Amino acid sequence: MRPEEIIHRLQPTIEVITDRFFQWRRRAATAGLCLLAGWVGYHVVFGANGTMVYSQKIAEHRSLNKEILQLKDENGRLAHQVDALRNDPKAIEKEAREQLRYARPGEIIYTLPQSTVASGTVTAQKR
């Protein structure tokens, strides 16, 4: 047999083999791209900088901003109170009367003892 005849006889087999190879290559490429897309999707959602972490950071940012606003308000109130205690004699007198229990001449201060029984735990006792 001549080489041309051998090639002519093997031609259908070679075509079948190349067709199967290209089909296998196409399937492998499709599977590889699907795996890559799945991996990228997983990291977009659950990765270190994914949407889950991003939404948690947004919630934390909002709560911290709310806390900052509350602390600024409290800071403003305390600054006003400090200013009043430095400059306003009525504020000084009020604090002295409330915290130190000072009284003006002729006044009587009544103090009530603090309750030793916790609220909600009162029990009857037999004598």
123 is a domain residue: no
**Residue owning tokens 């029984």:** 117
**Residue owning tokens 């199967």:** 20
Give 4's pLDDT tier (boundaries 50, 70, 90). confident
Beta strands in the chain (DSSP E): none
Are 24 and 36 part of one and the same domain? yes
Q: Per-residue pLDDT tens for 58-111?
A: 999 999 999 999 999 999 999 999 999 999 999 888 888 888 878 888 888 777
**Residue owning tokens 């000084």:** 92
Are 53 and 64 part of one and the same domain? yes
pLDDT confidence of residue 93 = 87
Determine the structural domain holding residue 40 and report its residue range.
Answer: 1-46
Q: Which residues, in sequence order, are CB contacts of 5 under 8 Å at separation 6+?
A: none
pLDDT confidence of residue 27 = 95
pTM listed for this prediction: 0.50
pLDDT at 6 over 90: no
28 is a domain residue: yes
Are 40 and 1 part of one and the same domain? yes
Q: Per-residue pLDDT tens for 10-60?
A: 888 888 999 999 999 999 999 999 999 999 999 988 888 889 999 999 999
Backbone angles phi and psi of 8, in degrees to 5: -65, -35
Are 38 and 4 part of one and the same domain? yes
113 is a domain residue: no
Are 35 and 75 part of one and the same domain? no
Using N-to-C axis directions, what is the helix angle for 89-99 and 51-87, rounded to 10°? Answer: 100
Are 52 and 41 part of one and the same domain? no
The DSSP secondary-structure symbol of 48 reads: T
111 is a domain residue: no
How many domains does the chain contain in total?
2
65 is a domain residue: yes
112 is a domain residue: no
124 is a domain residue: no
Are 39 and 59 part of one and the same domain? no
Which amino acid is residue 33, in one-letter code? L
